[in-house]
Every structure is written in C-alpha cells, then in structure tokens.
Chains A and B, each alone.
Chain A
Amino acid sequence: QKEVEQDPGPLSVPEGAIVSLNCTYSNSAFQYFMWYRQYSRKGPELLMYTYSSGNKEDGRFTAQVDKSSKYISLFIRDSQPSDSATYLCAMSRGSNYQLIWGAGTKLIIKP
C-alpha cells in the first residue's frame, strides 16, 4: 500500500463548479501538506502549503487537513478552464525529510 493515495482521475467538471480533490495517507507523522499544480509539459508549482491541521484559503483555493482521518483536500471555487491541470498532493514529516507524493489527479474544466 502506498503511503499517499490519490485518485488519478481524470475528473471532468463544467466551468463554475466547485471542485474537490483529495488525498489519503497512512503515516500519522506527516506534518507538512502541500498541493502542487502541474500544467501539461511543465514542472509542478506550489499552490497551497499547510502545516498540521486546519484550513487555509487563498483566493478561490482552500486547503483542508484532517489529521484524525489522515485526509487532505483541495477545493477550487468558481472553477475556470485555466484550472485544467494535474494536481499533486505532497507531504512530509518535517523540513529534514523528503516529500512523499501522490500520483496526481488530472482535472479538466469544460467551458
């Protein structure tokens, strides 16, 4: 079983919909949780970064961490075609530990 599980999709939704992307993990020691966005033929770029539990909001994006359930989510409000990309979750135990990556979910926003 992988340490981090992420549904690869693709997830296809109409423009304007609320999108929910999720990862589950097995290692309770993870403390740092990240979401990266990767456009086609580009490298991943950091989208959201959360330490420990709770919510973090940045514009149309909200990241949630539920450590009791070992579950993290990324919500995208008012989704746009430009949000079409692969979204990767990543997490680590601390700054001296390596990131553990999900497989990535391909998201398609239809105009």
Chain B
Amino acid sequence: DVKVTQSSRYLVKRTGEKVFLECVQDMDHENMFWYRQDPGLGLRLIYFSYDVKMKEKGDIPEGYSVSREKKERFSLILESASTNQTSMYLCASRPSGIGGEQYFGPGTRLTVT
C-alpha cells in the first residue's frame, strides 16, 4: 500500500514564525502536491512537484514556498505565518502515467495565533 506521512498532525504557531511542514512518500512517486483544505472551499492546490528540485505554483502559492531535494520528500514552508494560513494542510503523491488518482497523507491541522 502507498503510504504518505506528514510530520505533524497538529501544529500551533505564532504570527510571523517560519513554519516547516514535511511530507514523505514510500512508493517512488514522481509527483507530489501540497493542498490546503478549508470548509466550503474544498481542496486548493498550493504547489506541486513533478520531479526532484522541480516545483510549480498551484492556485494559491502566495505566502508559501516548497522544497524537494529528494524524490520521497516534499516540504512546505510558510515564510512568515499569518492567521489566514490557519488551515488543514494535505500532502499527496501520484505516479506518472495515465489517470490522476492521488494518495493523501493524514493532514496537518495548523493554527496560527
């Protein structure tokens, strides 16, 4: 089974702090994604990566950056956390090829105070 793990389930940070969210997948997938999920808005894509050291902006990249130094690891960075970044953050991975199914981690509930 595909396993996607995220470093923290719950995180509380203060406004202005730099925040790192880590994601690791164990199935050698080329593609990895970071989403945030807010009530009524569904999943919104922040960034994705289709290969090591490659990254592409999603729909809402402002205030975020990413890093992918190894194939299995994709990090999301909040450079200076703000209260409007309080959300559920979901990491996903997907193999290359036909189809589009993504495999998700359990999510990190981030609260910025």
Residues of A within 8 A of B (CB): 6, 8, 32, 34, 41-46, 49, 51, 88, 90, 92, 94-95, 97-99, 101-104
Contacts and interface: CB of A to CB of B under 8 A. Distances in A.
Contact of A46 (B4, B41, B103): B103
Nearest to A2: B42
A95 B97 contact: yes
A90 B45 CA distance: 13
Given A43-B104, A95-B100, A98-B58, A103 B48 contact: no
Contacts of B109: 41
Interface residues of B, number: 25
Given A43-B105, A99-B100, A101-B42, 11 more contacts: A32-B100, A41-B109, A43-B92, A44-B43, A44-B104, A46-B101, A94-B98, A94-B100, A95-B100, A98-B48, A103-B40
Contacts of A99: 100, 102
22 contacts: A32-B99, A32-B100, A34-B100, A34-B101, A43-B92, A43-B105, A43-B106, A44-B43, A44-B90, A44-B104, A46-B103, A49-B101, A88-B42, A94-B100, A95-B96, A95-B97, A95-B100, A97-B100, A98-B45, A98-B48, A101-B44, A103-B42
Which DSSP category, helix, strand, loop or mixed, fits chain B's interface? loop
A101 B109 CA distance: 20
Contacts of A95: 96-100
B42 A102 contact: yes
Nearest to A102: B42
Nearest to A97: B100
